[in-house]
Structure 1
């Protein structure tokens, strides 16, 4: 457990090698959490239905399938490789073919957080992580918002960042070949966790925990190989970078609350829909 300035250990949730957290007709769902977010991956049959009554917005990633998404009186057809923001309240997702979809929630989805494979890790909290709070509502009100990810590719950048009031989700532009080991991007975050959701390929997450004055807190570097689907939760202060070691690397980074640095840099694709946080 985390104490003082010592981060929680990284989480490596290998969904492909563990039983699902919950099942329903035509649906198997795996759940992993951070302090402020919950990431779920569902394997669904054609015609499978996922319903949800959620306290705030969540993000649906239709990876390799099409789905019909209904919330209130609105309905959108979510094609493969799209991102849909679902408003608070009742929602219904119908898979139009078999495949994989991911849903990303804030920790306000307390029932899902409690069923996460790593729920016990957060029983004592996460002292290094800034609190979630509740971000401002979208400028034009809560509604279904659907984005075709291929429309949001920028030359020279692999970022495709989207936000809700409480979440920031970055479905990175897929790597079509193994990532160049001479062009990695090691970095760390002072007060928030990052979840890396692997939807395709095999990955190596390189993780380094900074030394403290107390040598008992020191841990060896971790070079964790992990397949798909999986979730890796990277604690604050831990230096990290990731690389796919097989083609078609599809990775999604998750943060909560939304990152102010990304908002200030102007890289958030739907930033105009939401007020800047105070």
Structure 2
């Protein structure tokens, strides 16, 4: 799909592989946390859960102190701290790190503990191998059967120097257009985009598709309209009506492949959307300089092949 020439995504290379056309489609998932009660209420915070095919998203509104622990976690996971007023003490084996808000943390497999303090939002991202958390998702029933067209998650190569707690400051300049801040680990890519002040320029929308992976858009400020259109096939029964779904913050939209999609910020104030992919995106990883921590995490063979 075309991008505005000023958008760096206009330079992305297309996939020339011949693929069989899809014959079935899943709907988008919309989880409006502001409209539903939290799944877990504890002294120190309230927590909601949602999921996609390959991931679980845990969204917490922290007000005090909380502790999250994982035992025998099979793979790497993410802790995202968008608010400066939150601090975290992270332990994984013999490794320990203390971090402030405005930080992205990758936590290694195995046993780990995250002790949180302050007031603000905390997001954890784990693969769907975390079955105990996946079962808590408000949309868990939607994934009782595998969604069509989504490839299974294959972890990327181990990080340089082995697994350990890795923390990245989010207070770094984004790209010019689009305002991306891309980080990846073995299981996730997080696009911590810049804040959009005011509505999006409707002359510079960016409709595009993904062949075989979901896009999870987490909105933590403002309001967005998610425009989604599914392909037509020869089977009329497989056709789906367009979505033009308006959602405030906080909410999650999981966009299925290969739907055409673009998201439009519409609030007059600050709008902030974070995109999440499991596993990391090959096309973004092929772009020189796009992934800010690429030196720590080798690319998958598909990136260099």
- One fold, TM greater than 0.5? yes
Report the Cα distance in structure 2 between the residues aligned to 1:32 and 1:75, rounded to whole angstroms.
28
Answering whether residue 97 of structure 2 is matched by residue 79 of structure 1, we say no
Query: Deviations for 1:116-164, whole angstroms, at most 9, x for unmatched residues?
Result: 1111111111231111123221111111111111224233331111111
Tell me what 1:265 maps to: 287
Tell me what 2:300 maps to: 277
Identify which of 194, 217, 221 aligns with 2:242: 221
**Any unmatched runs of 5+ in structure 2?**
1-21
Q: TM-score, normalised by structure 1?
A: 0.93
The DSSP-based 3-state class of the residue aligned with 1:151 is coil
Tell me what 1:62 maps to: 81
Deviating more after overlay: 51-60 vs 222-231? 51-60
Answering whether residue 270 of structure 2 is matched by residue 248 of structure 1, we say yes
**Any unmatched runs of 5+ in structure 1?**
none
The DSSP-based 3-state class of the residue aligned with 1:48 is strand
Q: Is the 2:43–2:65 Cα contact (8 Å) retained in structure 1?
A: no
Tell me what 2:158 maps to: 137
Q: Is the 1:158–1:172 Cα contact (8 Å) retained in structure 2?
A: yes
Tell me what 1:6 maps to: 24
Q: Is the 1:66–1:77 Cα contact (8 Å) retained in structure 2?
A: no
Q: Is the 2:174–2:193 Cα contact (8 Å) retained in structure 1?
A: no
Report the Cα distance in structure 2 between the residues aligned to 1:127 and 1:154, rounded to whole angstroms.
33
Report the Cα distance in structure 2 between the residues aligned to 1:180 and 1:166, rounded to whole angstroms.
33
Cα RMSD of the aligned pairs, angstroms, is: 1.6
Deviating more after overlay: 87-96 vs 10-19? 87-96
Report the Cα distance in structure 2 between the residues aligned to 1:70 and 1:33, rounded to whole angstroms.
24
Identify which of 114, 118, 127 aligns with 2:148: 127
Answering whether residue 64 of structure 2 is matched by residue 46 of structure 1, we say yes
The DSSP-based 3-state class of the residue aligned with 2:172 is helix
Report the Cα distance in structure 2 between the residues aligned to 1:244 and 1:130, rounded to whole angstroms.
29
User: How far is 1:207 from its partner?
Assistant: 0.7
Tell me what 2:227 maps to: 206
Q: TM-score, normalised by structure 2?
A: 0.85
User: How far is 1:30 from its partner?
Assistant: 0.8
The DSSP-based 3-state class of the residue aligned with 1:150 is coil
